[in-house]
Amino acid sequence: MIKLENISHNYDGEKVLHAISFEIQKGDFVFLSGESGSGKSTLLSIMSTLMKASEGSLSLLHQDINEIKNIDSFRQSKIGFVFQFHYLIEYLTIFENLQLAALDEKKSNIQTLVDELGISELLHRYPNEISGGQRQRVALARALVNDAEIIFADEPTGSLDSKNSRIVYELLHEVAKRGTTVVVASHDMQVKEYANRVIRLVDGKVS
């Protein structure tokens, strides 16, 4: 499903990831743990095709990412993201944000998803008119709208209280149970309760 071989990465000449190799199977809920600066966000960005690694190879869904002709289209149809700060587009309503992310043939998913996530009342509001927890649920809906096969979440509860954090983890856990692969990078050990696999990074290496 996800295969990393000797992934290394440099920032301004400094090596932040050192020859990382592992595989993740379909339906896994993976907890990528580590202290701040351990390289987990960088690794997640590389795994999710948002950044190119300096060295090594990455395969997603059995395809070498360097051989994928249209990486944007691949990303839109196969991968979902949840970021720490939701990153909704401020001048679009919640509905427009979801529409922007959705493929044409998946736009019908929007209503089902917002009903499931309890945010159907918010569709015509703007991101700055709803709470942090609601924003993160919208971000989750955006990640799921195209029936992504892999969800990457980088500190998805970093800006939430414990109650809202639990809601987000339970939703991700539910998604993983349906067969979607979920990779969560976080320093919050609460994720461990939901993950079936933990990959710990220390100073850019898998420990």
Partner 1 sequence: MYSNMIQTNGDIIITQEGIADTFFSNIDISLLEKINELDEVKSSYAMIVGASPVANLPIVGIYGTTKSHFPHYKLQKGIYPKKGEVILGSNIETQITEKTIKIANKEFKVSGVFKSGIGFEEGGVVMNIEDASALFNKSASFIIVVAKSHENIAALIEKISVMDEDIEVKTTESFVQEYNQFKIIENSSLVISSLAFVMGLMGVTSIMSMIVSSRKKEFGIMRALGKSSLFIMKNLFVETIIVSSSAYLFAFILSTIILELVPSIDLLQGYVSGSISPNIALYVFISTLLMALFGALVPSFIASKTDPILLINQGCS
- Considering the complex, what minimum distance in angstroms separates the CB of residue 196 from partner 1? 26
Q: How many C-beta atoms surround the C-beta of residue 206 within 10 A?
A: 18
Closest CB to partner 1 among residues 42, 164: 42
CB of 193 to partner 1, least distance (A): 28
171 membership: H or E segment, kind and range? helix 162-177
Residue at 123: amino acid letter? L
Minimum distance of partner 1 from residue 142's CB (angstroms): 7
Q: DSSP secondary structure string, 108-157?
A: THHHHHHHHTT-GGGTTS-GGGS-HHHHHHHHHHHHHTT--SEEEEESTT
Site residues for partner 1 per CB under 8 A: 45, 50-52, 70, 72-77, 79, 81, 83, 85, 87, 89, 100-101, 142
Q: Which CB, 31 or 81, lies closer to partner 1?
A: 81
Question: Which of 9/33 has CB closer to partner 1?
Answer: 9
H-assigned helices in 6-90: 40-47, 71-78
Q: Which residues pair with 198 in a beta bridge?
A: 31
Which of residues 92 and 173 has its CB atom nearest to partner 1 in the complex?
92
Q: Which is nearer to partner 1, 83 or 194 (CB)?
A: 83
User: At a CB cut-off of 8 Å and minimum separation 6, what does 29 contact?
Assistant: 172, 173, 176, 182, 184, 194, 195, 196, 197
Q: How far is the CB of 166 from partner 1 (least distance, A)?
A: 26
Q: How far is the CB of 96 from partner 1 (least distance, A)?
A: 12
